[in-house]
Amino acid sequence: MRLFGTDGVRGVANQDLTPDLALALGRAAARVLGGDGETRILVGRDTRLSGPMLEAALAAGVMSAGAEVVSAGVLPTAGVAYLAERHAFHAGVMISASHNPVEDNGIKFFAADGHKLPDAVEDEIEAEMRRRPAGPVGAGVGRLRHDPGLREEYLAHLTQLVRRPYSGGVVLDAAHGAATAVLPLAFSPAARRVAVLCAEADGARINVACGSTSPGYLKEHYQAFGGTVGLAFDGDADRLIAVDEEGEICDGDVILALLATWLKARGELEPSKVALTVMSNGGVRDFLAQEGVASVVTRVGDRYVIEAMRQENILLGGEQSGHIIYRQASTTGDGIATGILLLSALEETGVRLADFRRRIPHYPQLLRSVRVADRDTSLRSTRYLETLAAAEAGLAGSGRVLVRPSGTEPVVRVMVEAQQEELADRWLERLCSALAQGD
């Protein structure tokens, strides 16, 4: 099985993702990504309890290959990507499992240009891990340097994104994660009143009943802290979910649509096109089309969104989950940059987020995971293929079906979207039953 997934190497820390594995990854990555001269690699992490352990192991691997490690400490993922490009590091590494539970962790690499590594380069690193060339000795061994000033540079970059300060109050949920390193300083110039919840850098509570994966916490508390709107981040601050003035949750689809129409009105969305994934609601694509903004649809995963953006020179893209990429601000999803831009858009347009949310049609999307004996056999069964053909015919023009086999377990995920919920429910039941029964 391939070591790298869609977002780096991830697993239960000290069980799947061990210090030994981190060391081997660091050594191999330094050899594959390094230059002819002195190789420099930037490392950042979120607040997870396992972060310092994995950072130490990865740094040891990098140094054993003769490269220098520069540690930025706790920092959002987008900060690592931004600083890697700005300071011409050979690579940036983020140690985080993003929105995953406390026990998980991950190692994610960025190239010198701040973008995630292509599959082919990840495969090179895996191949290099199987080699055991002799390492340097004496003065050839790499060095470790801590540079807390890098965080200040990322903060300065964020504050430059403010177009017009928001006159209302904003309450931020830092999820006890990497966002705690830069909040509320990043938002002080962006809004008149700023309050932060879950602001302790507590690796035992990262993402626990808070943040973008549990926006109900922010929804329950934001008004008590003087907020007109609320913004919730995940563990590494690359996702953003908002709560509007009426306490309703606004996902990445709503945020992307608002930024797209605002930037288009400012003449800053050329071409007039966005990239989004197959999971984005059909209602947002219809809304954007009415506003003169075309949609390019990609596979699920922000790396595929970014890939499409680079290929077609698209400036804005994102996922329903809250990964939003604006290429003028970042090379990867940046929840903090997105939040600052969102507040500027609300202030400049004078629109309430709740009113904008209501303008976007939201078609019912029903999701279910079906456990099967064999994914390939179930997806080839006559019963399933006939049901799928009937569903696509029955939903033509009014909905769609998305079926995705899991890459790691005997599960098939089924999503049915329709303009009427009972229609979506009917076809979801039939498809799931057909998959479960097989031929």
Which residues have a catalytic role annotated?
A: 98
In the block, which residue shows the tokens 């081997």?
24
Amino acid identity at 261? T
Cα distances (Å, whole numbers) of residue 37 to 40, 66, 210: 9, 10, 45
- What residues are paired with 17 via a beta bridge? 13
Helix 119-129 with 19-33: angle, nearest 10 deg: 120
Contact 153, 211 (CB under 8 A): no
**355-370: b (≥16 Cβ within 10 Å) or e:** ebbeebeebbbbeeeb
Q: Please report, as a single letter, which amino acid is at residue 55.
A: E
Which residues, in sequence order, are CB contacts of 326 under 8 Å at separation 6+? 259, 263, 315, 316, 334, 337, 338, 341
Q: Is 271 helix (H, G, I), strand (E, B) or coil?
A: coil
* Cα–Cα distance measured from residue 347 to residue 202, given in angstroms and rounded to the nearest whole number: 33
Q: Can you give the length of the chain in residues? A: 439
DSSP structural state of residue 138: G
Partnered with residue 434 across adjacent β-strands are: none
**Would you give the distance in Å from CA 133 to the centre of its chain?**
35
- The contacts of residue 307 (CB under 8 Å, 6+ apart) are 298
Task: Collapse the DSSP code of 100 into the 3-class scheme (helix H, G, I; strand E, B; otherwise coil) and give the result.
Answer: coil
Q: What is the signed CA dihedral for 400, 335, 147, 159, rounded to 10 degrees?
A: 140
- Two tokens, residue 354: 């709740």
Q: How many CB atoms lie within 10 A of CB 249?
A: 17
Helices H / strands E in the chain, number of each: 14, 18
